[in-house]
Structures are given as structure tokens and as C-alpha cells.
Structure 1
Amino acid sequence: MSHPARRMPLVDCLKALASQLIVLHHIAFYGPMSDVAYPLASGSIDWLYEYARMAVQVFLVIAGFLAARSLAPTATPVSIKPIQLIWTRYCRLALPFLIAITLSIACAATARLWMTHASIPDAPAFWQVFSHATLLHGLLGQESLSAGAWYVAIDFQLFILFVAMLWLAGKTRASTRTAMALITVLALASLFYFNRQDSWDSWGLYFFGAYALGVAAHWYAQRQHSPIWFALLLGLVLYALALEFRPRIAIALCTALILGVSARYQLMEKWPDFRLTAWLGKISYSLFLIHFPVFMLVNTLVFRLAPNSPSLNLVGMILAWLLSIAAGDLFYRLVESRMNPPRHPQTRVLTERAEAS
């Protein structure tokens, strides 16, 4: 008999906070409203523009944490079937993503009728749409049809890398040690090389250091494992930061510490348990997918009604934020929750084993 996965209020809270910061960053980054409203809130807009985007590191770490929790809760690969797992992950990511991209194309076409702005995507060609459908748009150098489309592709690449390493480790006798070694080696390659080369930022290797920290945080939480490996990895991350300080990696490190310590000492399922953060965490992916079409429509409306009013454009920014949250909730209920297939049986069994341990 299967049981629903227990809620993790801490994960909900982190996802809620990170998703709101990313949406607010995009409000400050895209469209003319932030330019016109800038004199009234220059400090806030500058901060959101420059720093709020780093909240994506929280999602990278959480993605690694949840992937480890589902596929290898004790760091021991068990009968990994890579093709089936990758296909299931593709469906969970891509099906809602394609609906959101369709809405984005329609809203962009509407916006182009009333205003001209660099943030509005051009009418897409067939290969641009195809590259998004296959989650290859970043690798193929295609212009994104929606804000944050790059992250969906990166999440998928990271999952493929993780599954491949678990599959390879499962072919060895010392599968647990091999899995940890593979994760460590690729994390170090990311932290010390790929993440320091901007030319790699369309590849999962660029972000694997943060993802690996999430994986390590979950494995550290399993008390049958010594904390030495986790401490060693954290020390290597600190050394990487000493060589070249990157705020995004520092955020990933802090997130992994919070998740690892909370999970190891059984705090993750107890705090901070608030309805608001639980709701915002639940709809975070839908919000991430749907907020850009909402932005384009609100920007267009405000541009037509009050193109030169800083106060009304600031109100428009706030309205775009609130409407995006409402749209995210609607998209979750009508699309994401209905289109996502059930977890692969292998994933469900492994998760239930982790929850019982």
C-alpha cells in the first residue's frame, strides 16, 4: 500500500521565498514599467534587478535534495532504469511548460499589437518552438520564449546527469561509495571550472555544484552515513569560494546546510509550518511558468493608459506581482496538478523506504 509523501514545511518555505524573489526580479527586469517607476523606488528596483535572481540557487539545491530523496535515499542506487526515470521527469517538467509557452506566445502577439519593447519575444519560428518542446533551446542558442525558460532545461539536464551517475554506480560492487565519488568529482569540476566559465551557462555542468550540494545534504541527513563526506564537500566548496567568491555559490552552500541539518535532526517536517508558505511553495513551479505572460499583458495595459506616470507604473508592478500569484494558483489547479503523471513506481517505492527509515 502506498502512502502520500509527507509534507516538508521547510522546503515549502524556501520554495515560496525563492519563487517570489525570482518573480520580483523579473518585474524589475522586463518591460517598461520598472523604467518609468524607477525614480520612486530606485533602491528596491536596483536590488531586485541585481540580487533577487540569485534565489534560483535555492531551487537548484532543493532539486538535488529531492532527487536524492526519491532515487537514492540512502545513497545506494537500486535497480536504476534511466530511460523510464528520465521520460517521467521530462513529462513532469515539459507538459506544463509547453502550455505556458503557448500562452506566452499568444500574450506576446497581443502585446506586440500595442507596444514595442525589447522584452517582448518576436513571433517564433518552427525550430524555436521545437527546441523549447525538447528542452534544447539553451543548447541550440535559441531565444527564450518566456522568462526563466532556461531553468526548465537546466533542471532536466541536471536530473539526467544524476540518474546517469546513479546508474553507473549501480553497476559496481561498492555502489554507495561510487555514487558519492562520482557526485564529488563532478561537483568539483563544476565549482572549480565550469561554473567559472560563462560560456558554459547553458549546460547543466555549470550548475551541478549547487545541485550536488542538495544531493549531499539529503545523504548527510541519513544517520547511517558519517558526516565526514558532507563536511569534506563543504570544505571544498569553501575553498572554491576562497579562490573566487561567487554569491550564488555561497547561497547554495547556506541552503544545503539548512536542509541537511534540518533533515538530520528531524526539524524539516515541523517548521516553519504556515499555510501561506505551504500554498506558495506548492504553486511555485506554476508561478514560475505563468508569470511572464501576465507581465506582458500588464505592461501593455499600463503602457497604453499611463506610459509616463511613475506612480501608476509602480502600482502596475505591484498589480503584475499579485496577478501572477493568482495566475500561478489557477495554472496549478487547471494544468500542473492534472497534467503531471504519477511518480514512476520505482521512485515511489524508494521514497516510501526513505520516509520509513
Structure 2
Amino acid sequence: MGTQDHKLAWIQALRGIAAFMVVLVHNRGALMGTNAGQLIADHLFLPLSMGVDLFFIISGFLMVLTTRDFDASRAYAWKFTAKRIARIWPLFAIASLIAVAVDHHGIHGFLHASVLFPYLEGLLSIPHDPAASPIYFNMALGVAWTLCFECYFYLVFAACMLFGRHRYGVMAGWFALTLIAIPLLRGSYSLGVASQPLVTWSRYANLAINPIVWEFIFGMLAGWLYCSRFTIKHVATVYVTVILLLATLLIGWHRIGMVNFFGPRGWGAPLAILFFGIVLLAKRGDIKVPAWTVWMGEISYSLYLMHVYVFELVQRVATRIPMEPDVYRVVLFVTRPIIAVACAWLMFRYIEAPASAWMRKRLVGIRLPVFTRRWSFQRHSVPTSRDAG
């Protein structure tokens, strides 16, 4: 592991933790057969959905950190875009094929255009039906709603690179327009991700105005902080500040209208506070993480996309085995996450990593004429750091 990778082991560990939190959320269904199990599922495991908020914050952070060597060229913008496509799309496409087979009983799902069309929309990161849900979008591959937001953010980030050294100014203007001005003009400004009035003329526009995008911005701000010279000398100051801010937020949670749901008005706010604290500690080199969490971070994307379908297949097998209902629930609750992690590792090693590397090599190797020159006002490049991941 290189020096930079070692320094960022903590961010990889957070990825792994976030993915496993989502796994546990979806595994809580095994507990819902009893009143006690329902109580545990609702109050202990459901809040772990905040793993999604953590994913979004991490994404914003990494986009700033991994583009520190931006040279203000269009070629760099294309390279960034190609790497993002190669990182997300190959496994997403394979997961969609598996989802069609699992959801529609093998080959039968591939024979009907009406079945395939929602999955194809998902591959283009187009919300399938925003009217059905203000945030989940009724996606055919359920967890793909988060990828819609991820890809929207990457698209904005890449497009703003075309403005060279003015990229962050343009980005600030775009987010001010979509997250503040337009909601205010519509007369419905709110930080609640589930309370945005539907944009009927464009499904994709519903992504742009959703307040959950603020979490990417939180991550970007943390990225700038991490790259800056600002430090806090005393570790105790970081801990005390984070604890006081979190305590103040939690004590006044309901009074200020916070909710137990996604977004900056929900789990995103306390996670942002924690993340900024972690960033300040990481700048000092005070973050040490277990190796298994870093490994979990490496397989996190495979785990996130595939665990629901692993759960479904394990459940189908388990239903064929005679056992008491309570035993059945325990078997599902214990075995599904373990098998999901094992399958994610296999998927990462033999499918995700090779497929992503193959597509990345070919896309980055494309030399489009429109991306071969810099703007005339770009004269200096920033010091080289690490390529965008």
C-alpha cells in the first residue's frame, strides 16, 4: 500500500462501514416476525440507513481530494469522466442483468421489453418514477436510486471542469440555483428530502433540486478542509467541539424540525459533523483503522449492489428447508450478511475489478479532438497528486 493509500485507509474503512450498515438495514426483515423483533428492527437497525448519507459525503470528499492535480484542461475533464464511468457502470450493468434474472425468474424477464425498460433507464441513471416516491424513484434495481444522485453529482462536477480554473465558482452558482433559488421561487423551500414538490416536466430535474445533494457539498467542503493548511493543534479541541455540536443538535432534534430520515434535515447533519471531526484528526495522522474495514471498503460497491439479490436467493433456499419459524428467522438473520460479504468479495475480485480496469483503460485511451486543448486563459497547472479514483 502506497503512502497516499495508507493515509486514506480511514476513508476506505468508512466506505466499508457505510456499505455494511446498509446490509444490516435490509437484513432487518428477518426479525419482523415477532413484536420484539419488530421493535429491534425499527429502532436499532432502521437508523443504519444513514450509511447512504455517509456514502454521499464520502463521494463529495473524494471528488475534491482526487482532483487536486486538475490542470484546467478539457483532456483532464474527459479523463475524470471516463474513470467515473469505468468505476460505476460495468458492475451496475452486470448487477442489472442479475436483478432481471432474480426478479423475473431467469430468462423470462429478458423476453419482454416492458420488463427490461426500467432496468435500462436505471443504467442511464434516470429516475424511473419520481411520482411514486420522492426519493426512491421506484427503481427496478432498488438501490439504484442512490446511483442516480451519485451520477448526477459526477456529471455536474465533470461539466464544471470545462470552465477550467473557474470550476468551483461555476459549481457554486449551479448549486445555488438548483438547491436555493429554484426551490424558493417554487415557494416550497425545505431541507426535507421527502417533501420536495414533483417536477413534472423532467424526471432528472428532481435530482437537481433534492436537498440530499447538500451532502455531497458537505463532503466537498470537508475535502477542501483536508487539502488546506488549516489544522487544530490539540486533539482534545476536536473531540470537545464535535461532542458539543452533536449534543446540541440531538437535544434540539425535534424542536428544530429534524427527522429520522435521509438528508441534511435528518441523518446527514450529525454525520457531517462527525465527518469533519474525522477529517481534522486524519490531517494529524491520528486515525488508525482495522485492516478488515479497509478490505470491506474495497468490496463495498459490490456489496452494496448485490446484497439484496444474495438475500433473496438465500431466502429461497432456506424456505425449502424444514425448520421452525423462529429458527428460520435466526438462520436468515445470521447467514445472509455472511454470504453477501463472501459473494461481494468474489464479485469484486473476479468481475468488478477486472471489468472496471478494462473499461477504464479503453475510455481513458480515447483521444477526442474537442478535449485536446486547454483554454487560452489557463497558463499554470497545479502540482500533481493522485489520479481521480
TM-score, L = length of structure 1:
0.74
2:298 is the counterpart of 1:282: yes
> How far has the Cα of 1:85 moved from its partner?
3.2
Distance 1:62 1:316, change over 3 A: same
Distance 1:351 1:288, change over 3 A: farther
Code of the residue aligned with 1:6 in structure 2: it is D
Hey, what's the Cα distance between the residues in 2 that align with 1:10 and 1:353? 18
Question: Within 5 Å, which residues of 2 pair with 1:47-66?
Answer: 47=43, 50-66=46-62
> How far has the Cα of 1:298 moved from its partner?
1.4
Q: 1:219 aligns with which of 215, 224, 231?
A: 224
Q: 2:327 aligns with which of 300, 311, 335?
A: 311
Aligned position for 2:73 = 79
2:165 is the counterpart of 1:149: no
Whether the 8 Å contact between 2:118 and 2:128 is mirrored in structure 1 is no
Q: The residue matched to 1:203 in structure 2 has which SS?
A: helix
Structure 1: stretches of 5+ with no match in the other structure: 114-121, 228-233
> How far has the Cα of 1:182 moved from its partner?
4.9
Q: Answer with 1 or 2: which has the greater Rg.
A: 2
Whether the 8 Å contact between 1:12 and 1:277 is mirrored in structure 2 is yes
2:17 is the counterpart of 1:17: yes
> How far has the Cα of 1:154 moved from its partner?
1.8
Q: Deviations over 1:56-112 (max 9, x none)?
A: 1000000110011123x38x8722554553343223211101111212222334499
Hey, what's the Cα distance between the residues in 2 that align with 1:177 and 1:154? 21
Aligned position for 2:238 = none
TM-score, L = length of structure 2:
0.69
Whether the 8 Å contact between 1:28 and 1:48 is mirrored in structure 2 is no
> How far has the Cα of 1:300 moved from its partner?
1.2
Higher mean C-alpha deviation, range 289-298 or range 185-194 = 185-194
Q: The residue matched to 1:305 in structure 2 has which SS?
A: coil
Q: 1:132 aligns with which of 119, 122, 126?
A: 122
Hey, what's the Cα distance between the residues in 2 that align with 1:251 and 1:268? 26
Code of the residue aligned with 1:93 in structure 2: it is I
Q: The residue matched to 2:126 in structure 1 has which SS?
A: coil
Distance 1:84 1:317, change over 3 A: same
Whether the 8 Å contact between 1:22 and 1:56 is mirrored in structure 2 is yes
Distance 1:296 1:351, change over 3 A: farther
Hey, what's the Cα distance between the residues in 2 that align with 1:171 and 1:5? 25
Hey, what's the Cα distance between the residues in 2 that align with 1:312 and 1:103? 25
Hey, what's the Cα distance between the residues in 2 that align with 1:287 and 1:149? 13
Hey, what's the Cα distance between the residues in 1 that align with 2:319 and 2:348? 29
> How far has the Cα of 1:209 moved from its partner?
0.5
Whether the 8 Å contact between 1:13 and 1:281 is mirrored in structure 2 is yes
The total of aligned residue pairs comes to 327
Distance 1:46 1:311, change over 3 A: farther
2:344 is the counterpart of 1:328: yes
Q: The residue matched to 1:45 in structure 2 has which SS?
A: helix
Question: Within 5 Å, which residues of 2 pair with 1:251-262?
Answer: 251-262=267-278
Higher mean C-alpha deviation, range 7-16 or range 104-113 = 104-113
Alpha-carbon RMSD across the aligned residues, in angstroms, is 4.2
Aligned position for 2:154 = 159
Hey, what's the Cα distance between the residues in 2 that align with 1:11 and 1:5? 11
Aligned position for 1:6 = 5
Hey, what's the Cα distance between the residues in 2 that align with 1:220 and 1:278? 23
Question: Within 5 Å, which residues of 2 pair with 1:172-251?
Answer: 172=166, 179-180=171-172, 182-183=174-175, 186=178, 188=180, 192=190, 195=193, 196-197=195-196, 199=198, 203-206=207-210, 207-224=212-229, 244-247=257-260, 248=262, 249=264, 250-251=266-267
Q: The residue matched to 1:353 in structure 2 has which SS?
A: coil
> How far has the Cα of 1:272 moved from its partner?
2.8
Aligned position for 2:242 = none
Hey, what's the Cα distance between the residues in 1 that align with 2:344 and 2:56? 20
Hey, what's the Cα distance between the residues in 2 that align with 1:351 and 1:56? 33
Code of the residue aligned with 2:98 in structure 1: it is L
> How far has the Cα of 1:306 moved from its partner?
4.4
Task: Looking at secondary structure, tell me which structure has more helix per residue.
Answer: 1
